[in-house]
Chain A
Amino acid sequence: MSDDKRVFEGRIKVPYKHTAGAYVEKFLTEIGQNRKIMGVKCPKCKKVFVPPKMVCFECFEKMEEWVEVGNQGTLKGFTVVTHKTDVMPLKPPFAYGIIRLDGADTDIVHLIKESDPNKLKAGMRVEASFYAKPRKRILDIEYFKPI
């Protein structure tokens, strides 16, 4: 109990595991081992999903055809984080954005290697930079850098 005897303080641990599934496994293996970014194509609407997933959310079709998309893409929007809190992956300032990779029909969210908002612009071209020692994490693409 805190100094105020009418207030109880507690803390609940929330341990979890998350089975990522075969599609995530394949994606992470390809970026880590081959530095290739892979998506899956809907057999009906032909959209290419990056990140990959099993079912096309519009057609409700199972997707099984893998296609390679570009390591470059277009930045659709971004933010630069400047206020510090305890739960951040990086020390501010840092940026992340929504990226449409060349050949993909969906977007991926990732870190951007540029924290000056004046040097970033929606619509600019960016390129994936891969982490030297892959660990089967999405951060095996370490960040996207403006080109």
Chain B
Amino acid sequence: MPKHDVAIVGIGQTKFRSKRRDVNIPEMIYEAVKAALDDANLEIKDIDALLIGNMDHFEGINFSELWTGIDACGFYLKPVVKIATGGTTGSSLGISGYYNIASGIYDKVLVVGWEKLNEGGATTGIITAFDPVWERPSLAGALGPLALMANIYASKYGIERSMEASADVVVKNRSNAANNEFAHLQMPNITTDFVMSSQMISYPLRLHDCCPQSEGACAVIYANENEAKKITDNPAWFKGVSTAHYYTFGCDDIMYNLPTATIASKKIYKKVGIKDPIKDLDVAEIYEPTSWAELAWTEALGFCDFGKGHTLLDEGISKMGGEMPVNPSGGVLSTNPIGATALVRFAEAAIQIMGRGGKRQVPDAEVAMGMGFGGSLWTELCILGKDPKPVR
């Protein structure tokens, strides 16, 4: 059982872009760290430990924590842990931050995710995750498995219907991104036709069905109940976290509908007392690497029945102004600095709880979900709220 309640008390993000030629890696991360410290009105000496992560190899470097932990975060002679779990890097960081405070080990921790994807080859790194005999010659990379997933999903539920619905996801998320100054892709006038006529990359995924590659960093400060009240009267409290880690080798188990999201969400709903996620959650920031993924993930998370992901859009439920907006920030389809991406989901959920979302704010948001996806089809979830208690 947790010994302490855990709150997010400070957030800093860089503006995410395709290239940041004006700063090197530590200089870029420093922007987010300084913004988070200023947000919480703290100095680096006030923070007990640092959790930092990106994906080794994506920038052609390894052991980056040696210099990013010190030059960007000021953790000279202090505890630093590096976490790298693929797409879930940011949520593994976010959940580890929770564990470090909830366990009573530390009072305040700084959690930092970053990536500078224009500087290397993410696919080069991802390929090394795959089996050299069976998978590397064909499947390896990020897009391949996601395209197969999309195709199985579409074949099961109707190709045309799924293509249109997935284009609607892109339009929703990129329109939302226009309300978020930190979001990478700014396409306020995007249309379904524009998405559906974009270049085919890997059938059935077109260019605009896919997330971009982004550069930037996200820094989040966590505190226990005693420290949080000294820092802010408006923190975002963790009601719970949940993870489910899966195994897929080749395609020897079903993969298109993300079973880990079903397992992890059932666990966290039980823990937090959620009976109907659409009614009990006010907003969700989910990790949708492709348009099709948002349809499948929202189903797996229990927001609707399997095969009914499109109804969330058709009925306006997941749009801004709907009953439970999904990805007011613009989501991963608008911004994907891989090591930071899932931490941005947690941070954006916290921003909604704190009521600081500006044009992307969901009115009166009191319970928010953040989701990380990646690795071997892992799912990691948090539910944040105005207090640390279960909803019922």
**Which residue numbers of A lie inside 8 Å of B, CB to CB?**
8, 10, 12-22, 24, 53-55, 57-58, 60
Contact = CB atoms under 8 A, between A and B. Distances in A.
Interface in B28-77: 30, 43-45, 57, 59-61, 70-72, 74, 76
B121 A16 contact: yes
A18 B119 contact: yes
Nearest to A13: B124
Nearest to A8: B132
What 3 pairs across the A-B complex have the smallest Cβ distances?
A16-B60, A60-B74, A21-B24
Contacts of A53: 26, 71
B21 A55 contact: no
Contact of B74 (A8, A12, A57): A57
A24 B26 CA distance: 13
Contacts of B132: 8, 10
Given A14-B60, A60-B74, 7 more contacts: A12-B124, A14-B57, A14-B121, A15-B121, A19-B119, A53-B26, A55-B71
Contact of B23 (A21, A57, A60): A21
A13 B120 CA distance: 11
Contacts of B128: 12
A13 B20 CA distance: 23
Nearest to A20: B24
27 contacts: A10-B132, A10-B136, A14-B57, A14-B124, A15-B120, A15-B124, A16-B61, A16-B119, A16-B120, A17-B119, A18-B119, A19-B20, A19-B21, A19-B22, A19-B23, A19-B24, A19-B119, A21-B23, A21-B24, A21-B27, A22-B22, A22-B23, A53-B71, A55-B26, A55-B30, A57-B70, A57-B74
B127 interface: yes
A42 B25 CA distance: 20
Interface size class on chain B is 20 to 34
Contacts of A19: 20-25, 116, 119
A19 B26 CA distance: 11
A131 B316 CA distance: 66
Contacts of B120: 14-17
A13 B60 CA distance: 10
Contacts of A54: 26-27, 30, 71
Contacts of B72: 55
Contacts of A16: 59-61, 119-121
Contacts of A14: 57, 60, 120-121, 124
Among B27, B45, B76, B120: residue with most chain A CB under 10 A: B27
B118 A57 contact: no
Contacts of B76: 57-58
A54 B61 CA distance: 20
Nearest to B121: A15
Nearest to B19: A19
Contacts of B26: 53-55
B254 interface: no
B124 A17 contact: no
Contacts of B74: 55, 57, 60
Contacts of B119: 16-19
B1 interface: no
A39 to B, nearest CB: 15
A62 to B, nearest CB: 8
B267 to A, nearest CB: 37
Interface in B96-134: 116, 118-121, 124, 127-128, 132-133
Nearest to A17: B119
A22 B26 CA distance: 12
